[in-house]
Amino acid sequence: MPWTVFFTAFAVIASALFCLVALLSAIRARHATVSSARRLRLLELHTESLTESVTQMQVELLRIANSKKMTDVRMATEHTSKSKRLTSVINSEPDVTADPEGWRAWKNSQLRAGVYNQ
């Protein structure tokens, strides 16, 4: 009789331990599934963030390119206006922005001389 009690108690304890091991394995498997889902979501968020950053960089690059184009156009315009100023200096016309009084006096002298379109 003592042997049957011993083996019965051993079987009950072993069953309880196996149930505990099974429960811990289930919890670990669930945790691994949740963790992998969380990692997947983090990767999706990271990818979305990178995509948004690339889009913003493209927009900014286009803005900079347009600004560069406009700067080139302004430089070309200033270059042609400088050549016009040089021809006006050759005709002894004072610069309007640098010497407004001198230009006014020069223009009045031109008007008195009868030169209207210059």
User: So where are the chain's domains?
Assistant: 2-82
The answer to whether 118 and 110 are in contact (CB under 8 A) is: yes
Report pLDDT for 67.
Answer: 93
16-35 pLDDT tens trace: 999 999 999 999 988 888 88
d(CA 81, CA 24): 84
60-96 pLDDT tens trace: 999 999 999 998 888 877 766 655 555 555 567 788 8
Q: Kindly report whether the global pTM for this prediction surpasses the value 0.85.
A: no
Q: How many CA atoms lie within 13 A of 63 on its CB side?
A: 6
The answer to whether 94 and 86 are in contact (CB under 8 A) is: no
How is residue 65 written in tokens?
């390119």
How is residue 86 written in tokens?
């040089």
Q: Is the per-residue pLDDT at 11 higher than 70?
A: yes
Place of tokens 């009789």: 1
Share of the chain above pLDDT 70, in %: 85
From the CA atom positions of the chain, what is the Rg in Å? 44
Share of the chain above pLDDT 90, in %: 41
How is residue 92 written in tokens?
């002894």
**Those residues with Cβ within 8 angstroms of residue 85's Cβ, 6 or more apart along the chain or in another chain:** 95
Average pLDDT over residues 1-22: 90
The model's confidence at residue 109, banded by pLDDT at 50, 70 and 90, is confident
